[in-house]
Amino acid sequence: MSDIAGPGMSESIRAEARGIRFFALAGLVVSVHLAGLALLLSTEYGPFAITLSILAWIFVNCFLLVALRRPVVCAALALGLIAILIELSRFKFGILQLSLTFLDFLIIDRDTFSFLLSVFPRLQMQLMIAGLIAVPLLVALWRFDPFRVRRSFSLTGLAGATALISLMAVVSPEQPWEPFQGVNHVSNLARSGVVAVSRLASTGWIEADPPADRPLRLASEAHARPSLLQTATACDGTARRPHIILLLDESSFDVRAAPGVKVPAGYADFFKSIDGKQRTMIAESTGGPTWYTEFNVLTGLSARSFGDLKFYVTRIAAGRVTRGLPQALQRCGYKTVSLYPTYGDFLSARAFQKGTGVERFIDMAEMGVNEDMQPDSFYYDQALKAFAREQASQSPVFMFVYLTANHFPWTDVYRPDLTPAGWTPPGNTAEVDEYIRRQTLTASDYREFTERLKRDYPDESFLVLRFGDHQPAISQKLLEPGIEQTRLAKRLMTTDPRYYATYYAIDGINYSPANLSSALETLDAAYIPLVLQEAAGLPLDPTFAEQKSIMLRCKGAFYACRKGAEARRFNRLLIDAGMINGL
């Protein structure tokens, strides 16, 4: 009897086991999808963002199903991928106050990974451990996944999700401030993909006029006489050139632009040039990205020419934009040096600056510090050390120096031990008084720096141009107290000068600027290289001569002149001349 019943029972047991396995794996699929939904609901806010993130989840799963067909494996991969994306976005927001966007994946370079490993040296080991755990798990799921999904079904879901994501992104496009909120990581990433693809399809990386039927004047001259640029910038070898120092004064502007703000006596003197005039520089960012202005003053170009991609301007331009102030100065025999306050891989800063002609790039690691916020006196000491090394060659030296003591936040008192004797808070809010205290520190350290140059190098001449890279974030609640957020957002989106105006000042140490005719009372940051060269008495190459004519007819405006037409034309000239490549 047992011999007869045995095979039937075995088959029944096997069938029951298969049923248990089926329902277990089906339950696993459902559980993974529920886990994904819970993850999205914990980071997405509002019906629109939640709907968009769910569509993104469907998109990722269908995309994987088209390739793999196994729903258990695909759901597990999708969950891991979404979790990693959210963590990466949170990490980026903690560093840059900006969440992840599609361009982070479109512009992948070794500098990004190098920067991550510099900030988190144990990250490489953690990634290896995660891989050792994840790979065997996925292999096991692959072997025991009994389900298969037809590719036609997956393609239909993929097409539907793509269409709905695109439609939602078009109907409600991502606003410029949304990535700065630190939430809605997946939905913002999905919308940014639609924006980036649309932008690249319509204008490419940079706005420029289409190629002309015949080369424009500047390009035609450069092609006809390849040595024209070198000839035009040839400098008299017997002439004595001043050393040039370009100082980026973090988050600094004349806070008296805000109504009712009290300042100490003599506050305004710091913003005046050697001729006693106070000048205004219009930056292309406010309360945020320093690298926009870094791009402006090194290349003489506009970050706004990159449209929605401008946040990545230094990464995009690295190795592709070679026209710039350092290159122009090299033609006149200058040694070019940059002192950078964080790791050089940050947003490809090293590669970008070297592409514009910076020969010696000194970052935070080479300076021997592990924090990027140091007193101004620290960077001045580093500048003096670098100058002593470079000056031994008997060549004039150009130095680009970043100052960071006035970086946010201003809710904490930064280095109270450095407060100048006799400092008394003017009587504003604690945050504003701390902002002014740090500006006072900057002015004091600058005076000491110039005195050291006079004392240590009495026979050398120096031209110094300093500028505020952008307004501090607190200016947005000071300039127009009580303004509605919608009106403020409109001001920022339309680049209202009130929120983008900083300062620039020109000083001489044992030197009187040769020509200040280009130092207009108000000008865009992209003209700073032009002003600096003329103040140093250097001849302009054809590109800067052309840009000077733009400056004069546009009265100091660059990108905003003729709704971007001048900038687009100028970008085309540089593309045709081979100074902008691959964009």
DSSP 214-256: S--HHHHHHHH-TTHHHHHT---TTSPPPEEEEEEETT---GG
Instruction: Tell me the two tokens of residue 251.
Output: 């988050």
**pLDDT tens track, the chain, 583 positions:** 444 445 555 666 666 555 565 666 677 778 888 888 888 888 888 899 899 989 988 998 888 888 788 787 788 888 888 888 888 788 777 766 667 777 777 666 665 656 555 655 665 665 666 666 666 666 666 666 666 778 888 899 889 989 998 898 888 877 666 776 778 888 888 888 887 787 777 778 899 998 865 555 554 344 444 433 444 446 665 578 999 999 999 999 999 999 999 999 999 999 999 999 999 999 999 987 899 999 999 999 999 999 878 888 998 999 999 999 999 999 999 999 999 998 888 888 999 999 999 999 999 989 998 887 899 999 999 999 999 999 877 899 999 999 999 998 999 999 999 998 889 999 999 999 999 999 999 999 999 999 999 999 999 999 999 999 999 999 999 999 999 988 888 888 889 999 999 999 999 999 999 999 999 999 999 999 999 999 999 999 999 999 999 999 999 999 999 999 999 999 999 999 999 998 8
Q: Of 551, 536, 582, nearest to 331 (Cα)?
A: 536
**Count of C-beta atoms within a 10 Å radius of residue 157:** 18
Sheet holding 243-249, edge to edge: 360-362, 335-339, 397-403, 243-249, 462-468, 504-509
Specify whether the CB–CB gap between 56 and 165 falls below 8 A: yes
- CA 285, CA 26: separation in Å to the nearest integer? 51
Given the structure tokens 């886990």, which residue do they identify? 35
pLDDT of residue 79: 85
Local structure of 14: helix, strand or coil: helix
Q: Of 503, 511, 500, 501, nearest to 536 (Cα)?
A: 511
Residues 6 or more apart whose CB falls under 8 angstroms from that of 50 comprise 40, 41, 44, 187
Instruction: Tell me the two tokens of residue 548.
Output: 């000077």
- CA 566, CA 207: separation in Å to the nearest integer? 11
pLDDT of residue 85: 84
Specify whether the CB–CB gap between 439 and 286 falls below 8 A: no
Positive or negative, the CA dihedral 450, 451, 456, 461 is: positive
Which whole-number Å values give the CA distances from 90 to 38, 65, 443, in the listed order?
17, 28, 36
Cross-strand pairs, 466: 247, 505
Instruction: Tell me the two tokens of residue 382.
Output: 């580093």
- CA 542, CA 220: separation in Å to the nearest integer? 12
- CA 409, CA 406: separation in Å to the nearest integer? 8
**Domains, the chain, with CATH or none:** 12-203 (no CATH), 254-538 (3.40.720.10)
**DSSP classification of residue 332:** T
Q: Of 281, 214, 219, nearest to 543 (Cα)?
A: 219
- CA 277, CA 519: separation in Å to the nearest integer? 10
β-pair type (522-524, 280-282) = parallel
- CA 283, CA 302: separation in Å to the nearest integer? 10
- CA 180, CA 404: separation in Å to the nearest integer? 21
Give the amino acid at 504.
Answer: Y
The C-alpha angle with vertex 417 and arms to 414 and 422, in degrees rounded to 5, equals 105
pLDDT of residue 141: 62
Positive or negative, the CA dihedral 370, 375, 378, 379 is: positive
- CA 534, CA 473: separation in Å to the nearest integer? 33
- CA 394, CA 313: separation in Å to the nearest integer? 35
Residues 6 or more apart whose CB falls under 8 angstroms from that of 182 comprise 90, 93, 97, 99
Positive or negative, the CA dihedral 517, 519, 524, 525 is: positive
Residues 6 or more apart whose CB falls under 8 angstroms from that of 145 comprise 25, 70, 71, 72, 73
pLDDT of residue 27: 75
Long-range contacts of 8-14 (CB under 8 A, 24+ apart): none
